[in-house]
Amino acid sequence: NLLRQRDVENKRQTELAQSTLHKQEARLKDLEHALELKLIEAERSAQQQAKDSESTLSRLKADLFREHEESQRAVATAQRELETQTQQLQIAREAFNDALAESRLAREENVVLRGDLERLRRQYEGSRQDLSAERDQLQRRHDECENLITQIDALKKQNLELESLVSSLKTSTPISRPIEPLLTQLEEMRSSHSAERQLREKEIRKLNAELKAAKRYADQLQQQLTDLEAEHSRCLARVREQADELNSAQKEAAERALELKMARHEVADLRRLLEHSQALLSKESSPAESH
């Protein structure tokens, strides 16, 4: 009985051990299956994560490439604008220098014209004084001529009176010795009057010639005065024109200086923008290279 009980107990324990072993094997299979599922899920998840990472990396690379191209385009645009502004700055500088040169030239011409104007004014004043003096001298010569004509008329009248007196004495009374000295004296007076009249007539002819010459000289002075007045007017107009041109050149130079200043500010802004764009480009290029 004891052996039978032991066999039964051993058999029961063996069955129990086999049952436990079957349960352990079944559980092991379940664990292996679950592990396989976990491995498959982990592999699938890893593949999905790799795919997502690759997609994200591609998207980041595309975004970086697009931003890189946009930055390059912005830099190229900024460089073109900088070149354009530099050219405009050079043009403005040349225009400013031209305006300064024109202003300097206009100022020099204005100084020369003012000197010419002052010279013409002095010449005009001298010619006017000469003309006034010549007119005074002409009037004096005219008065002298009138005086000589009056004297000649008086001498002619006296000569006629003497001739009439001599004729009346010769015809009315026989010539006697007491009258002869009187007649001789009358003849001498008539000869003297005739000589004086001829001298006065000669002086009158001389004065007339001088008067005509003085009139011609006065006409020449008057013409010179007219020419000087015309030239003075032209020079004055030219001075005013030069003054207007000088003011215009100075105004243009001021405008060019303002444009030059604004262009310099724009160039400085563009340079700062270009440096900022290049810095951003370098900063964006570094992560792309590391990836």
Cβ contact 190:169 at 8 Å? no
Cβ within 8 Å of residue 117, ≥6 positions away: 232, 235, 236, 239
Q: Where are the domains of the chain?
A: 2-290
Above 70 in pLDDT, residue 289?
Answer: no
Q: Is the pTM of this model over 0.75?
A: no
| Mean predicted confidence (pLDDT) in 104-116 | 77
User: How confident is the model over 22-39, as pLDDT tens digits?
Assistant: 888 888 888 888 888 988
The CATH number assigned to the domain with range 2-290 reads 1.10.287.950
CA 279 to chain centre: 41
The proportion of the chain whose per-residue pLDDT surpasses 90, expressed as a percent, equals 0
- Residue-wise pLDDT for 115-139, tens only, equals 877 887 787 777 778 777 777 777 7
240 and 117 in contact (C-beta within 8 Å)?
A: no
